[in-house]
Chain A
Amino acid sequence: MTAFPAPATRARGPEAAQALAAELSKLVSLPATWLTLGGTLVVNLILAMAFTIAGLHGSTGTKSATDIGLASISYAQAGFVILGVLAACSEYTGGQIRTTLIAMPRRALQLTAKHLTLAIVVLPAAAITAASGVALAAGVLGDTATPVTSGHVAAALSGVTAYLALTTLISASVGALVRQTLAAVVIVLGYFFIAGPLLRDHTPAAKYLPDSAGFAMWFPVADNASAVTPAQGALLLMAWTTGLIVVVMLLYRRRDT
C-alpha cells in the first residue's frame, strides 16, 4: 500500500506574482503587441500632424495645442482596441488557452493577471502616444497656440491615458467573451466609431455610456449643468470596465475552453 503524498498547494501570494509574470511574458513576446503599439504611435503622429495643419488654417475652431494634439486620439484609440482584443484572443488561436489553464488553473486569478498585465503595458504606451501628439502640435503651432496652464495639460494627458487604458481593458474582456479576433474587433470598433457617436447625437442618456463618459475625461465638452465632469466620466468608465470584467470572469469560470 502506497501512501499518496498530499497534493502540493501553492500559496496565494507567490501564485499571483507568478501568474502576473507569466502573463507579462506572454504579452511582451507577442510581435503583434509591439507592431500594434508602434503602428498606433505612427498613425497618431500622422493624424496629429494633419489636425495641426488644419489648426494652422484655423479650421479646427480652437487654437489650444492640447486640444488639437489630442483630437487624433479618437481615431488612434482603434489601435488600443486591437491590442486589447489581440491580447485576449491570441489565447484562442491554436490551443494556447489549454496550456495557460493547466499552468494557472485558477481562472479568476489568470484573467485578473491578464487584465492587470495589459494595463501595465498600455499605461506607458498610451501616455507616450498622447504626449507625442500634444508635443507635436505645440511644437508646430509655436507661439500661435493659445497659452494653456501646465495643470490643464497634465489633467488632459492623464485623462487620455486612463481612458485609453480602460478602453483597452474593455476590448480585452469583449475579446475574452467572443474569443474570435475579427468578431470582437467588429463589435468594439462598431460600438466606438459608429453606434456610440450616433447614439450620442440622438439620445441624452447616451452620455452615461462608456464611450461618451470616457470622452468626458479628456475631451472639452460644452459647458452645461447636466454635462458629465471629467471625474464623473472616469468613475463611470471604471464602473463599466469593472462590471464587464466581472461578467466575463463569471462566464469564463463556467465555460468550456
Chain B
Amino acid sequence: MRALAAEAWKLASLPTVWIATAVGVLVPSVIAGITASATLGAITRGAGTVPGVDTGYQELAFGVVGAIILGVVGISSEYFTESEESGGGRQITTSLTVVPSRLRFLLTKISAIAIAAALLAIIAAATTMGVVRVVLGAHALTLGADDVPRLVGVVCYWVYTALLAFGITVLTRHGVIPLAVLIANTSVVTVTYLLTKITPLANYLPDMAGVRMFIRKLADNTVEISPLTGGLVMTAWVAVLLVIAAIAFTRRDA
C-alpha cells in the first residue's frame, strides 16, 4: 500500500503526466465542441441531420493519446539518466532499492498507472459528453442505460491503452519509440485501420478490437465484433504484453 502511494506520488510529480492530463481532457472535448457545433449548424440550417450515434465517443478514441503519454512516461522516467553534474543516476536504482521485489514493484507501478488512466478517462469522458450536451442543447441524444456500458468501455480502453504503452516502454526503456509509434497510430487514419484493408485479421489488433467497446459504426468496415469480444481481445493482448514485460523486467539488469 505504501509502495502504491509512492508510485502515485511519483506520477503526480512528473510534469509530463500533467501534460498528458491536459492533452487527454482537452483533445477530445475541444474536438467534440467543434464537431458538435458543426452538427448544430447543419441542424439549424435545416439539413435535417441528427447527431451520430458515436458523437463524443469518436473524439474520446483520439483523446486516448493522453493515456498513451501517461503509460510511457510512467516508466520511461525511471530510466531517465540524470546529467553528469548531478551524478548520472537513474531513478530505477533508487526505486528497486526501496522495493527490492521486481515483481511487486512492477505490479504497483501497473496499479498506479491503471488508476491514473481510469481517473483521466472518467474526467475526459465527463468533460467531452458535457461539452457535446452544452453545444447541442436540446438536439443532443439523451444518455440512457445504453451509454453506461459504452462509457465503461471508454474507461477500459484508456486503461488498456495506457498499460500497452507501459508494457512496450518496459521493454524499450526509452520513451521516444513507443510514443512515436503509438501517437502515429492514434491519427485519424490509423496504421492498424489500413491493415484491415489488407487482412481482416487486423481487426483483432488491440486498438481495432478495443474501440469496439464503445464505437458503434466504424467507417468502411464490415467485420462485426461485439463490444464484449472486442474487450476480451484487447484484454488478452494487454495480458500477454504485460507478462512478457514482467518476465523481461525480472530477469534483466536494471
Residues of A within 8 Å of B31, CB to CB, are 198, 202
Q: Which of A76-133 contact B (CB under 8 A)?
A: 78-79, 81-82, 85-86, 93-95
Q: Check B34 against A202 for contact (C-beta < 8 Å).
A: yes
Is B120 in the interface zone, CB < 8 Å from A? no
Q: Is the CB of A81 within 8 A of B180?
A: yes
Chain B positions 85-139 with a Cβ under 8 Å from a chain A Cβ: 85
Residues in B whose Cβ lies below 8 Å from that of A86: 176
Docked Cα-Cα span, A197 to B34, in Å, equals 13
Complex CA distance for A202 and B42, rounded to whole angstroms: 13
Known pairs A75-B184, A186-B69, A194-B62; A53 contacts B198 (CB<8 A): yes
State how many angstroms separate the Cβ of B203 from the closest Cβ of chain A. Answer: 15
Residue A201 at the chain B interface, CB threshold 8 Å: yes
Q: Is B163 an interface residue (CB 8 A)?
A: no
Q: Quick check: is B191 within 8 A (CB to CB) of the other chain?
A: yes
Q: Which residues of chain B come closer than 8 Å to A190, judged between CB atoms?
A: 23, 65, 183
Q: Do residues A194 and B65 form an inter-chain contact, with CB atoms below 8 A?
A: yes
Smallest CB separation, B195 vs chain A (Å): 7
Residues of A within 8 A of B217 (CB): none
A72 nearest CB across to chain B (Å): 9
Interface residue total, chain B, C-beta cutoff 8 A: 35
Most buried by B among A53, A54, A78: A78
Q: State A189–B35 Cα separation when bound (angstroms).
A: 22
B23–A189 touching, CB < 8 Å: no
Give per-residue flags for A59-85: 1 if the beta carbon is below 8 A from chain B beta carbons, else 0: 100000000000000010011011001
CB of B83 closer than 8 Å to a CB of A: yes
A193 close to B69 (CB less than 8 A):
no
Interface check B84, CB cutoff 8 A: yes
Residues of A within 8 A of B197 (CB): 54, 57, 59
Would you give the shortest CB distance from B219 to chain A, in whole angstroms? 13
Q: Which residues of B contact A195 (CB under 8 A)?
A: 27
Contact of A182 among B35, B175, B195 (CB under 8 A): B175
- A202 near B84: Cβ-Cβ < 8 Å: no
- Residues of A215-245 whose CB lies within 8 A of B: none
State whether the Cβ of A166 lies closer than 8 Å to any Cβ in chain B.
Answer: no
With a cutoff of 8 Å between Cβ atoms, the chain B residues found around residue A93 in the complex are 81, 83
Quote the shortest CB–CB distance from B39 to chain A (angstroms): 11
| Cα-based distance from A142 to B38 in the complex (angstroms) | 44
Assuming A51-B194, A94-B84, is B16 touching A194 (CB within 8 A)? no
Q: Does B19 contact A (CB under 8 A)?
A: yes
Does chain B have a CB within 8 A of A21? no
The answer to whether B85 touches A95, judged by C-beta atoms less than 8 angstroms apart, is yes
CB distance from A47 to the nearest CB of B (A): 7
> Which residues does chain B contribute within 8 Å of A189, judged by CB atoms?
179-180, 183-184
Q: Is there a chain A Cβ closer than 8 Å to B188's Cβ?
A: yes
B43–chain A nearest beta-carbon distance, Å: 17
B37 — nearest CB in chain A belongs to which residue?
A202
Contact A197 to B175, CB < 8 A, known contacts A50-B195, A59-B197, A186-B19: no
Contact A182 B76 (CB under 8 A): yes
- List residues of chain B with CB within 8 A of the CB of A78: 180-181, 183-184
Give chain A nearest CB distance to B175 CB in angstroms.
5
Give the contacting residue for A183; candidates B19, B81, B195; CB below 8 A: B19
A94 to B86, CA, bound (A): 9
**Known pairs A81-B180, A193-B183 / 16 extra A-B pairs, C-beta < 8 Å:** A53-B198, A54-B197, A75-B187, A78-B184, A82-B176, A82-B180, A95-B84, A182-B175, A185-B179, A185-B180, A189-B183, A189-B184, A193-B186, A197-B188, A198-B34, A198-B62
| Partner-B contacts on A (CB < 8 A) | 47, 50-51, 53-54, 57, 59, 75, 78-79, 81-82, 85-86, 93-95, 181-183, 185-186, 189-190, 193-195, 197-198, 201-203
Chain B interface (Cβ < 8 Å from any Cβ of A): 15-16, 19, 23, 27, 31, 34-35, 38, 62, 65, 69, 72-73, 76, 81, 83-85, 175-176, 179-181, 183-184, 186-189, 191, 194-195, 197-198
| In the A-B complex, the 7 residue pairs with the closest CB atoms | A193-B187, A197-B188, A189-B183, A78-B180, A78-B184, A54-B197, A59-B197
